[in-house]
Amino acid sequence: MGKNIRSCQPEWTLPNNRRLFIPINQEKINDVARLIGFNVAKPHKERAKQLVYSTSYSVINTVTTGKSWKGYNTDGTGCISSLSSEIDLSGKSIVLLGAGGASQTLPNLLEQEGVKQLFVYDSQSEKATRLAESQDIAVAVPTEDEILKLSHKIDVIIDATPCGMNHEVNLPLKRKTLQKLRPIEAVQEFVYNPSTTPIMDFFDCKTLSGTNILVNQALHSLKHATGITLNDTEKQRLIRELKKQHE
C-alpha cells in the first residue's frame, strides 16, 4: 500500500524488514495498479472517489484494488482508536475544530462511543452545519464567539484543522477562547508534523499527537486491504519512530 500519493515519505517496515507502506510519488500514480491498495492524503481525498467502483463515504483516504476498487475513510476510526486507548469517551462533551475531510465520519463514530454532546466548529460555518446535521449528538457552532457561550463543560477537544502544521506557530482559536474551555481532560491533535503542536502546548492535560491517528488510520487501511492486524508492540514502535522523525 502507498502511504500517500502526494509526497514521498520514508517507508514503514516491521522488525523482520517486511514492508507495510511504500511511498508513491504523484507522478507515478499509475504504479498503484500493481498494489492491493493505497492510502490517500490531503488534498486528494475527494478526488480519489473517482477511482473507486463503490464506497459509502463522502470522502475517502483508502482504496483497495482488485476486480472492483473500493473506497474507505479510516481517518475517523484512527482518531477513535487513539482517543479510546487513553480515555473513556462515554458521557463526554467534545468540541471538534474543523469539518473537513478528516472529520466526516467522526459524529457517527463518537455517538457509537457514547459521547454525550459534540460541538462542531469550522471557520466556514456552512461546513460545520452540514457535518452536524449528520448525527443527533452534533450541534454546529457558527462562530468562535458562540464557543465562549457554551454552557456545557467541555471534556475533550479534537483539532482537525491544519493549524500548527510544519512548525507554524498558530492556534485554531483565539487564546481567550481556548482559555474559556479550560480545564479539559484531553486534546486530540490531527497534525502529526510536528509531533507536538501549539494547541497541545497550550493545555495542561492529556495531549495526543496526530501521529497516533496517522498510525492507527494506516493500520485500519492495511486491514481493509490485507486482513492483517498488527499487535500493539509493533504499533507503538511505529508511533515512537514517527514521533522522533517529526520532533
Residues serving a catalytic function are 45
Which residue, 94, 78, 82, 182, is CA-closest to 138? Answer: 94
Residue 8 CA to residue 2 CA, distance in Å, equals 9
- Cβ proximity of 7 and 43 under 8 Å: no
Cβ neighbour number for residue 222 with a 10 Å cutoff = 22
Q: Nine-digit cell at 50?
A: 473517482
Task: For 103, list phi and psi in degrees, rounded to 5.
Answer: -95, -5
Residue 238 CA to residue 151 CA, distance in Å, equals 40
Residue 165 CA to residue 144 CA, distance in Å, equals 21
